[in-house]
């Protein structure tokens, strides 16, 4: 957490020697706080002060990168406890564990299924992020072979799961370029694991059953020179896990407690598909950086990914699409023209219904500053004038040979004014997008 | 290391639904919600005396837009609201029933206030759990329908809604006269939520008989707006804002089952998987999100979703 000018002043020599070029230590401290000057300008600063200022300039929760290339996973660097205070920045990575005792055929099949957990919702790609390979065989060579198979069959980030450093070492030989997450260090093996993480420059999970033991373990790892850490508090009931996740986040943000200034990984405990999905979504909404699942049915994973998408949407900036004319299907000059707002959720809902109607249609997405139909109407961002202006500036009249416009049912009250302002004949469409297919089909009958 | 426990000064109001013989009603059970002095499920820093509850939704008219997956568990009972309510209680173990008088809407059947009142009486006769009674959303009609429904359930301590900023007086007067609790509705807006509570309480309505409907969206369809409004309101309540210290009621089923991901068949979207599981899970996941931000009463539809969310609540309430 950044220190205030006064906070920094307390750490300075307070001699007002002016060697830094500023009249007083306090003035220098203010400049430091504003990041306008470097601490090097003070020749008398102590080592402790240097350390304190360095750590204060770090983000309260470190950004950790797992993997490399396009599919790398970045987690951490969060700044708030509640999304309405600002936003959540780095969406929870969702992953799965594959055991190295499975047959090659099964592993390839599993990876094929995992790779397909890649969807598009409201114009955004939502997909899973990480595959963990767990060494159940207790055979380093076998583990390495399986890791290679996984590397070849998915671009997703990797995690190497074993508490035996010798197995991890062997797997790393084959996979270190892909920057896997080592999973992980415990109080029993942390020295060996720390060395592997440091030598190979890969992030390491620190795993301990209680918050107190976790604090000790992280400090030990820091002493060993490991800075890229992901926290784990082990097997817990959901309520206890929720408590741990909340404490870790609060202590990191509110107390700048360095040992917990890292993202957290959670492994679901439920094997039942419904309960696992509920458990996973709980951790997604409450601060987990990575959630590892057991089940991979698309109907289980899709709602978890959707939950993540919702929670990690910027509350100050609703998702918007470009305001313009969209052509759905093989449009021609007699195709209907539908008008809606540029709020992503609204636009894509309308688009999906138009598509399913199979009636080629123009959708005019008006700039409503990303508000939905009713909200935009109430805020006067979706008015007769603004719609008329959009029709004019997008040149829709040159694309069609008619002047019939369909508006959302919720703003039927705009009809008269819009006809006057635009010269188009207005038809009131359905209130809900789900009514669009029937509406369009009846229209073209 | 010192843990960071929040010491909240506020407390969510405790609201009780249902009057047994002792209280002058005919219910055989009561439901109490609220009373929290901590954020959801953080048992180590406050009291969470009452688990969130699930009400199963019953409509007074056969639903026309429900997908097969949702209709199937109820079968013919969908045609008969009394049977439907009995099925929810006996077969699906509902402890609370929410009767929605949608069929009284001028555009959806225009049933009379007398019909609605009779139905409420019949359901009260057929099931002995507490009732939630909702109008159709048509202000004018609701003012006559809910007045009659309230009268028909006099003394049963139902929860009746929704009162809105522009239409609350008639309903609040009925609920006061007949001894019911009331739902105050606001359109995903914390200030309006507060305003509605103030307006209702200014009529002499006790604060511990008000429940707030923050109007949620389904998972994937604006859920995050209500999520944050509820989070803000709950934080404000725990900080001591009395006009936001009401339990939340969330219409999970009605919203979730509008989502394409809940309704679409697997032939339309093979990549999304089997709809017989996907639909109920979509509803359950919507419930999970509102539970994590303080939902106290969840109104739900699919028995499988109800069962799974009940299990989820139970596992959370075990306090680890």
Looking at the structure, tell me whether residues A35 and A105 fall in a common domain. Answer: no
Residues A17 and A130 in one domain: no
- Nearest chain B alpha carbon to A235: B320
Residue located via tokens 């008398």: A44
- R_g of chain B, CA atoms, integer Å: 19
End-to-end CA distance of chain B: 21
Mark yes or no for CB contact B220/A315 under 8 Å: no
| Contacting residues of B for A282, CB less than 8 Å apart | 288, 292
Mean pLDDT for A260-278 is: 97
**CB distance A302–B285 less than 8 Å?**
no
pLDDT in tens, B214-267: 999 999 988 999 999 999 999 999 999 999 999 999 999 999 998 889 999 999
- B281 part of contact set with chain A, CB < 8 Å: yes
Size of interface A-B (CB pairs under 8 A): 146
A203 and A84 assigned to the same domain: yes
* pLDDT tens digit sequence for A43-83: 888 888 887 777 777 789 999 999 999 999 999 999 999 99
Contact between chains at B273 and A297 (C-beta distance less than 8 A): yes
Count the helices and strands in chain A (H runs, E runs).
16, 17
**Spatial separation of the C-alpha atoms in residues B303 and B253, rounded to whole Å:** 11
| Mean pLDDT value of segment B113-141 | 97
The verdict on A256 touching B (C-beta cutoff 8 Å) is no
For A121-153, the pLDDT digits (tens) are 888 899 999 999 999 999 999 999 999 999 999
Residue A261 phi/psi, 5° resolution? -85, 45
Q: Is residue A157 part of a domain?
A: yes
Picking from B273, B294, B69, B290, the residue whose alpha carbon sits closest to that of residue A307 is: B290
Flag whether the ipTM exceeds 0.85.
Answer: yes
| Closest B-chain CA to A347 | B221
Distance CA A91, CA A308 (A): 7
Which of A311, A341, A369 lies at the terminal end of a domain, its last residue? A311
**Minimum distance, in Å, between the CA of residue B215 and any CA atom of chain A:** 14
Chain B, window 24-53: residues with a beta carbon less than 8 angstroms from a chain A beta carbon: 39, 41-44
Instruction: Establish if A318 belongs to a structural domain.
Output: no
> Chain B residue closest to A279 (CA)?
B312
Contact residues on chain A for B289, CB-CB shorter than 8 A: 281, 285, 307, 310
CATH at residue A16:
1.10.15.40
B223 to chain A, any CB pair closer than 8 A? The answer is: yes
Identify whether the C-beta of residue A384 lies closer than 8 Å to the C-beta of residue A414: yes
Structure tokens at B178: 């007949």
* Domain match, A345 and A272 both: no
Calculated CA dihedral for residues A338, A340, A346, A347, nearest 10 degrees: 60
Judged against a pLDDT cut of 60, whether residue A403 lies above it is answered with yes
- Domain boundaries in chain B? 36-314
Closest CA of chain A from B253, distance in Å: 15
Q: Kindly report, residue by residue over B175-197, the tens digit of the pLDDT.
A: 999 999 999 999 888 999 999 99
Asked if residue B320 has pLDDT above 60, the reply is no
Residue B15 has pLDDT above 90, yes or no: yes
Domain at B36-314, CATH homologous superfamily: Dihydropteroate synthase-like (3.20.20.20)
Q: Does A25 share its domain with A91?
A: no
CB of B101 closer than 8 Å to CB of B119: yes
* Average model confidence (pLDDT) across chain A: 93
Give the pLDDT of residue A37.
83
| pLDDT-derived band at B140, boundaries 50, 70, 90 | very high
Q: Are residues A117 and A167 in the same domain?
A: yes
Closest residue on chain B to A245 (Cα): B42
Same domain, A50 and A78: no
Residue B20 DSSP code: B
Q: Is residue A154 included in any domain, yes or no?
A: yes
Residue A210, chain B, CB below 8 Å: the answer is no
Q: Give B20-73 pLDDT, tens digit per residue.
A: 999 999 999 999 999 999 999 999 999 999 999 999 999 999 998 899 999 999
- In this structure, are A144 and A223 located in the same domain? yes
pLDDT surpasses 80 at A1:
no
Q: Is B253 helix (H, G, I), strand (E, B) or coil?
A: helix
pLDDT over 90 at A203, yes or no: yes
Q: Which of A264, A285, A311 is where one domain is finished?
A: A311
CB B105 within 8 A of CB B137: yes
- Do the chains contact at B224 and A313, CB–CB below 8 Å? yes
Parallel, antiparallel or unpaired: strands A118-121 and A124-127? antiparallel
| C-beta atoms of A257 and B65 within 8 A | no
Distance from CA of A239 to the nearest CA of B (A): 5
Q: Do B258 and A434 touch (CB under 8 A)?
A: yes
Nearest CA in chain B to A435: B65
Give contacts of B 113-132 with A, CB under 8 A.
none
Q: Do A372 and B222 touch (CB under 8 A)?
A: yes
CA A280, CA B23: separation in Å to the nearest integer? 42
Closest-CA residue of chain A to B41: A239
Among A303, A308, A373, A409, which would you mutate to test the B interface (most chain B Cβ atoms within 10 Å of its Cβ)?
A303
B17 sits in which H/E element = strand B14-17
Contact flag B1-A238 (C-beta cutoff 8 Å): no
Nearest to B209 by CA among B246, B165, B163: B246
Using 50, 70 and 90 to split pLDDT, how confident is the model at A379?
A: confident
Give the count of domains, chain A.
3
The answer to whether residues A361 and A306 belong to one domain is no
Chain A residue whose CA is closest to B263: A434
Q: Is residue A124 part of a domain?
A: yes
CA distance to A82, A369, A391, per residue, from A395 (Å): 43, 20, 6
Pairing of strands A157-161, A64-66: unpaired
Looking at CA atoms only, how far is residue A84 from chain B in angstroms? 6
The first and second tokens of residue B48, run together, are 């969470």
| A369 burial type by CB count under 10 A (0-12 exposed, 13-18 middle, 19+ buried) | middle
Q: Are residues A241 and A101 in the same domain?
A: yes
Residue A84 belongs to some domain of the structure:
yes
Q: From A286, A311, A336, give the residue that closes a domain.
A: A311
**pLDDT, tens only, B275-284:** 999 999 999 9
Q: CA of A112, closest CA in chain B: separation in Å?
A: 13
* CATH value at residue A265: 3.20.20.20
Are residues A322 and A112 in contact, defined by beta-carbon separation less than 8 angstroms? no
- What is the extent of the structural domain holding A232? 64-311
Q: Return the DSSP state at B50.
A: S
Residue A2's pLDDT is what?
A: 63
Tell me: do A267 and A371 sit in the same domain.
no
Q: Give percent of chain B with pLDDT exceeding 70.
A: 99
pLDDT digits (tens, 9 = 90+) for B61-73: 999 889 999 999 9
Give the max Cα distance, chain B: 65
- In this structure, what are the phi and psi dihedrals at residue A87, rounded to the nearest 5 degrees? -175, 165
Chain B positions in Cβ-Cβ contact with residue A113 (cut-off 8 Å): none
In angstroms, the separation between the Cα of residue A19 and the nearest Cα of chain B is: 39
Q: Are residues A68 and A155 in the same domain?
A: yes
């Amino acid at each position: 957490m950044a220190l205030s000018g006064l906070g920094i002043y307390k750490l300075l020599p307070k001699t007002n020697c002016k060697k830094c070029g500023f009249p007083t230590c306090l003035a220098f401290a203010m400049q430091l706080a504003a990041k306008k000057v470097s601490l090097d300008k003070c020749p008398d600063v102590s080592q402790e002060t240097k350390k304190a200022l360095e750590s204060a300039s770090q983000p309260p929760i470190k950004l950790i990168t797992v993997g490399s290339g396009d599919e790398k996973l970045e987690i951490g660097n969060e700044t708030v406890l509640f999304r309405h205070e600002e936003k959540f920045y780095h969406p929870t990575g969702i992953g799965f564990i594959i055991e190295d005792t499975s047959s090659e055929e099964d592993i390839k099949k599993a990876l094929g299924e995992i790779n397909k957990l890649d969807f598009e919702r409201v114009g955004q790609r939502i997909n899973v992020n990480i595959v963990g390979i767990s060494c159940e065989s207790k055979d380093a060579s076998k583990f390495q072979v399986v890791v290679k198979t996984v590397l070849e069959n998915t671009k997703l980030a990797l995690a190497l799961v074993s508490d035996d450093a010798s197995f991890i070492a062997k797997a790393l030989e084959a996979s270190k370029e892909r920057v896997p997450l080592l999973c992980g260090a415990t109080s029993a093996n942390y020295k060996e694991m720390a060395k592997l993480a440091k030598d190979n420059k890969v992030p390491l999970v620190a795993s301990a059953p209680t918050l107190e033991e976790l604090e000790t373990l992280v400090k030990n790892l820091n002493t060993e020179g490991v800075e890229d850490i992901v926290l784990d508090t082990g097997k817990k009931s959901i309520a206890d896990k929720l408590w741990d996740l909340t404490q870790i986040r609060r202590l990191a943000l509110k107390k700048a407690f360095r040992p917990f200034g890292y993202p957290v990984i959670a492994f679901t405990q439920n094997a039942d598909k419904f309960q696992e999905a509920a458990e996973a979504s709980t951790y997604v909404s409450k601060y987990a950086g990575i959630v590892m699942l057991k089940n991979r049915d698309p109907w289980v994973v899709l709602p978890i990914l959707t939950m993540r998408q919702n929670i990690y949407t910027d509350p100050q900036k609703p998702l918007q699409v470009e305001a313009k004319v969209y052509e759905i299907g093989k449009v021609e000059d007699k195709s209907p023209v539908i008008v809606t707002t540029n709020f992503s959720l609204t636009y894509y809902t309308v688009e999906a219904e138009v598509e399913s109607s199979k009636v080629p249609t123009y959708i005019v997405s008006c700039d409503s500053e990303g508000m939905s139909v009713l909200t935009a109407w109430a805020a006067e961002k979706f008015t007769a004038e603004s719609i008329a202006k959009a029709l004019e500036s997008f040149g829709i009249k040159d694309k069609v040979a008619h002047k019939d416009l369909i508006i959302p049912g919720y703003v039927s009250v705009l009809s008269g004014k819009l006809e006057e302002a635009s010269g188009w004949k207005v038809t009131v469409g359905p209130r809900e997008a789900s009514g669009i297919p029937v509406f369009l089909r009846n229209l073209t009958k | 290391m010192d843990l960071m426990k929040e010491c909240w000064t506020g407390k969510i109001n405790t609201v009780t639904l249902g009057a047994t013989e002792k209280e002058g009603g005919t219910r055989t059970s009561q439901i109490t919600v609220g009373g929290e002095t901590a954020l959801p499920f953080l048992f180590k820093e406050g009291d969470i005396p009452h688990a969130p509850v699930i009400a199963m939704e019953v409509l007074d008219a056969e639903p026309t837009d429900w997908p097969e997956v949702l209709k199937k568990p109820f079968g013919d009972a969908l045609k008969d609201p009394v049977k439907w309510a009995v099925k929810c209680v006996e077969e699906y173990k509902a402890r609370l029933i929410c009767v929605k008088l949608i069929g009284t809407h001028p555009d959806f059947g225009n049933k009379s206030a007398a019909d609605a009142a009779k139905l409420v009486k019949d359901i009260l006769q057929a099931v002995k759990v507490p009732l939630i009674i909702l109008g159709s959303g048509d202000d004018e009609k609701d003012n006559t329908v809910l007045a009659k429904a309230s009268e028909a359930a006099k003394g049963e301590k139902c929860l009746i809604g929704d009162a809105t900023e522009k239409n609350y007086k008639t309903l609040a007067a009925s609920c006061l006269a007949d001894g019911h609790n009331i739902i105050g509705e606001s359109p995903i807006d914390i200030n309006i939520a507060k305003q509605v509570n103030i307006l209702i309480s200014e009529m002499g309505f006790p604060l511990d008989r008000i429940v707030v409907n923050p109007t949620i969206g389904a998972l994937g369809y604006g859920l995050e707006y209500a999520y944050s409004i509820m989070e803000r309101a709950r934080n404000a309540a725990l900080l001591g804002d009395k006009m936001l210290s009401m339990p939340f009621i969330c219409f999970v089923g009605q919203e979730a089952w509008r989502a394409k991901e809940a309704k679409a068949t697997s032939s339309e979207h093979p990549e999304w998987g089997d709809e017989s599981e996907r639909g109920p899970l979509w509803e359950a996941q919507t419930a999970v999100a509102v539970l994590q931000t303080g939902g106290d009463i969840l109104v739900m539809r699919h028995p499988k979703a109800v069962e799974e969310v009940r299990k989820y609540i139970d596992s959370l309430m075990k306090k680890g």
